[in-house]
Amino acid sequence: MSNTRKRIVSGMRPTGPLHLGHYFGVLVNWVKLQEDYDCFFFVADWHALTSEYADSSRIKGFVPGLVVDWVAAGLDESKCVIYQQSAVKEIAELHLLLSMITPLGWLERCPTYKEQKQQLVQKDLNTYGFLGYPVLMSSDILMYRPEAVPVGQDQLPHLELCREIARRFNFITGGDYLPEPKDLLTPDAKLPGLDGRKMSKSYGNSIGLGESMETVAPKVMGMLTDENRKRKSDPGDPEICNLYPYHKLMTDAETCAMIEKGCRDTSWGCVDCKKRLVQSMEAFLTPLHERRAAIENDPERLRAIIESGNAKAREAARETISKVRELLHFDF
Ligand code: TRP
């Protein structure tokens, strides 16, 4: 990895197996970024604890599972650093130090804080840790002094807070040691769930990255198409069909053009369309399944990916934390 490349940092919470929505929403972007940037991609296990603290036993199993999903999706440990947040204790120290300079009002005003507290009423989110989530996220980021952070729209308020914290740190310490990271906004998810709503495991409308064709094929055959098209002889509209966005992402352009025309002029029916999507889905998933099988059959390699990533992430973190200690006069 050359040192002249710009650095980026991003993380994901280990809350269960990833699906196609994650792939087309986030991972496809990460896989591209690893070619051009010095990438730090981490499993945000401490973040998972902010909402799962009452039953944290599942997080442990989801950590290696998430890395398997990433490798299956095409992240390559020789091109990026893959690590586990909680393996870098320096992040906890930075979190503590930054918490001292972060005004409460900034956190209380955070829109995601207000929203989630209202929405997740079944969990008691009246905790110090949950309020401080953006400080922890800022520590994840500022630790690596990155040029930018690839995030979805929903994370923009956190990134804005991160910049404000960096600015305040720089003001207090009279310098510019912590650069304000830019956002590399991931375009909104291009792939709806099987029923047209947002793809989510809890809605039961998702296709897991590790799912075999035996379960994927019947899911595809059961998808809703343009509801106004009751018979094949009714003209359809690909723009309001749930299948078509899948074709656009997984089927070649020429076939897509044929599908679009055939749907409108009724020469092409929904059943044919689904069968064709099963084919595309298989072609898309096969390399992911192959990479998954390879890593699952080689637990030593999985362990080595995480351990060597952790070591690299710690090395970079030590450099930052020692400078931060010095700037705050905690370098005894
Ligand atoms: N908050 C992010 C999410 O829920 C995960 C995350 C934690 C993150 N730390 C980060 C993302 C740092 C980017 C950079 O999706």
Q: How far, in Å, is the centroid of ligand 1 from the Cα of 95?
A: 14
CA distance 136 to 291: 32
Residues 199-218 as b or e (16 or more Cβ within 10 Å = b): bebeeebbbbbbbeeeebbe
State the pTM of this model.
0.94
**pLDDT attached to residue 123:** 73
Backbone phi and psi for residue 218, each to the nearest 5 degrees, phi listed first: -60, -30
Query: What pLDDT, in 10s, does the model give residues 221-248?
Result: 999 888 888 899 999 999 999 999 999 9
Give the pLDDT score at 12.
Answer: 97
CATH 3.40.50.620 fits 7-191+299-327, yes or no: yes
Which of 9, 12, 161 should be mutated for ligand 1, with most atoms under 8 A from CB? 12
Check residue 3 and give its pLDDT. Answer: 64
Pick one of 3.30.420.480, 3.30.420.40, 1.10.240.10, 3.30.70.1140 as the CATH number of 210-292.
1.10.240.10
Per-domain boundaries in the chain: 7-191+299-327, 210-292
**Structure-token pair, residue 302:** 């999985």
Tell me which residues of the chain have a pLDDT lower than 50: none
Domains 7-191+299-327 and 210-292 belong to one CATH topology: no
Burial class (CB in 10 A: 0-12, 13-18, 19+), 88: buried
In the prediction, which pLDDT does 137 show? 98
41 C-alpha vs ligand 1 centroid, how far in Å?
10
- What residues line ligand 1, using a CB cutoff of 6 Å? 9-13, 44, 47, 137, 140-141, 149, 151, 155
* Centroid of ligand 1 to alpha carbon of 136 (angstroms): 9
Alpha carbon distances (Å) from 325 to 98, 141, 166, 269: 11, 17, 15, 66
3-state class (DSSP) for residue 207: coil
Task: Quote the pLDDT of residue 125.
Answer: 78
